[in-house]
Amino acid sequence: GQQLNQSPQSMFIQEGEDVSMNCTSSSIFNTWLWYKQDPGEGPVLLIALYKAGELTSNGRLTAQFGITRKDSFLNISASIPSDVGIYFCAGQPADRGSTLGRLYFGRGTQLTVWP
Amino acid sequence: NAGVTQTPKFQVLKTGQSMTLQCAQDMNHNSMYWYRQDPGMGLRLIYYSASEGTTDKGEVPNGYNVSRLNKREFSLRLESAAPSQTSVYFCASRFLTGYNSPLHFGNGTRLTVT
């Protein structure tokens, strides 16, 4: 099956620091999505990327769709305590014949922010 | 606008019992999905329904069945619950099976099987 490698698995940072996490795939994707999950809730979409090389921001968050179409990264600038949570990448393979309708998820990055 | 609604929020079952997890979306989405989330494993797809009238297995379908009752509702059934099915279950939906349509998630059902 499809594999998405998300790293790092966890991060412990101080408030105000910048954060970077990434996701790589073994095959070409045509969509990359980044989600955040707060404790006890479902994942919420942060940023969606649909084009190779695309760089998109959402407040302090910036994500990029890698030009090889096999990777994506998410940056958080000037972290604050409410950034705590699990961040997931997800992708839609370009080969939709065998995987129509499916998104694949990374295993998540657990972010802890110390005040 | 409620989005994706899952019921129940919590459930405790004994081994061998059966139950159905309910999911409904009010966004007129075509596709619906069931995921389970376990510590360190991320989100794993159990079953999905690309459109009304169709269902397909995901990565971990064993021990589960699904029904796409209509365009709004997609239920997940455990016929004979096992402790290995203790997990948090998420339902999700998206507007199109095309590439430019992100998933929207419900808030989950926390299931414990003793």
What is the tens place of the pLDDT at every residue in A42-69?
999 999 999 999 999 999 999 999 999 9
Residues of B in contact with A101 (CB under 8 A): 31, 48, 50, 56, 97
Contact: B90, A42; criterion CB under 8 Å: yes
If you count residue pairs, one on A and one on B, with CB atoms under 8 Å apart, how many are there?
Answer: 58
Contact: A43, B105; criterion CB under 8 Å: yes
A100 vs A91: CA distance, rounded Å: 12
B82 shares contact with chain A (CB less than 8 Å): no
Q: From first to last of its 115 residues, what are the pLDDT tens digits of chain A?
A: 567 899 999 999 999 999 999 999 988 998 899 999 998 899 999 999 999 999 999 999 999 999 999 999 999 999 999 999 999 999 888 875 545 567 889 999 999 999 8
B53 shares contact with chain A (CB less than 8 Å): no
A44 shares contact with chain B (CB less than 8 Å): yes
**DSSP per residue, A58-100:** ETTEEEEE-TTSSEEEEEE-S--GGG-EEEEEEEEES-HHHHT
Contact: A40, B107; criterion CB under 8 Å: yes
Please measure the distance between the N-terminal and C-terminal CA atoms of chain B and give it in whole angstroms. 36
Contact: B105, A30; criterion CB under 8 Å: no
Contact: A88, B42; criterion CB under 8 Å: yes
A42 shares contact with chain B (CB less than 8 Å): yes
Query: pLDDT band at residue B99, thresholds of 50, 70 and 90?
Result: low
The three-state DSSP-derived secondary structure of B41-103 is: CEEEEEEEECCCCCCEECCCCCCCEEEECCCCEEEEEECCCCHHHCEEEEEEEECCCCCCCCC
